[in-house]
Amino acid sequence: METTQQAAGQQRSANQRRRELLEAADRVVLRDGPQASMNAIAAEAGITKPILYRHFGDKGGLYRALAKRHTDALLNSLRAALDAPAERRERVEATLDTYLAAIEARPQVYRFLMHPAEDAQPSEAGFDVGRHSAPLLRRLGEELATVIHDRVDLGPGSEQLARVWGHGIVGMMHAAGDWWLGERPCSRAELVRSLADLLWGRLAAAGDRAGSQAF
């Protein structure tokens, strides 16, 4: 009969194997971007595609696992920028720059997460990147809304307003960053300053919540 210790050991082994497969997938995505296929990822990991399916179900399952991996890392960086000991305008700019720096550093990962491959394999034709990327953007919006609500006194209806702002700012960063990454019409610093100028209205005038770390 399997002991609790044996079960825990098997779970650790399964988690380690999953991490290894995600790292192999990352390497392929960095190389191939949206064209990354399950066949290429399985080959990179030294396994067959059925084994890859056993761990993730399908490309959608693998996508969600990769999206969580990269979103967690991005959110940690965004929180650090928001909580840095600096003036509010500087932290707004640092937060915008953190997002843009992340997509600039790994554009192939960004494109895999946000843009469908134009030449997807027939077996992957049912994979809809837009359907999977929307929850990623919603999660970023909710996380930013929480930060705004916790740190800024927006008066009556502050929770709803914070959510509007959180999702609006994420939408702005995503749309502007997507355009900028494709065309590079200006430097990242110029884009950050321009977006911060757009935001610098009521946010600049709002007070901090009593007892909270100033935003």
Say how far apart CA 177 and CA 181 lie, in whole Å.
Answer: 6
pLDDT, block means (10 residues), the chain with 215 residues: 63 81 92 89 92 86 87 87 86 93 92 70 49 78 88 87 94 95 96 92 67 58
Looking at residue 117, what is its pLDDT? 61
Contact 202, 139 (CB under 8 A): no
Say how far apart CA 43 and CA 45 lie, in whole Å.
Answer: 5
Say how far apart CA 61 and CA 164 lie, in whole Å.
Answer: 29
Looking at residue 7, what is its pLDDT? 64
Vertex 13: Cα angle to 47 and 68 (nearest 5): 75
Tell me the pTM.
Answer: 0.77
Q: Where are the domains of the chain?
A: 60-208
CATH class for domain 60-208? mainly alpha
